[in-house]
Amino acid sequence: MIYKLATVKSVIAKIIADLNLDENKIKITDITEWIFEALHKIGSVN
């Protein structure tokens, strides 16, 4: 059962903060695509 959901925006912000990435050197669209691919692979239905 799902108790808490997170937005893609908050997940990307956490990734950038935790990995100490430079926002100007990464492609947000790539990270967004990876998130949706991961959701698909684990069988998440939204």
pLDDT tens readout for residues 1-46: 667 888 999 999 999 999 999 988 889 999 999 999 998 999 886 6
For residue 37, being part of any structural domain is answered with yes
For residue 1, being part of any structural domain is answered with no
For residue 17, being part of any structural domain is answered with yes
Give me the pLDDT at residue 15, please.
92
pTM score, two decimals?
0.72
Backbone angles phi, psi at 29, to 5 degrees: -65, -35
Give me the pLDDT at residue 46, please.
61
Range of the domain at 12: 8-41
Q: How many domains does the chain have?
A: 1
Give me the pLDDT at residue 4, please.
85
Nearest CA to 36 among 1, 7, 2? Answer: 7
Cα separation of 13 and 11, whole Å? 5
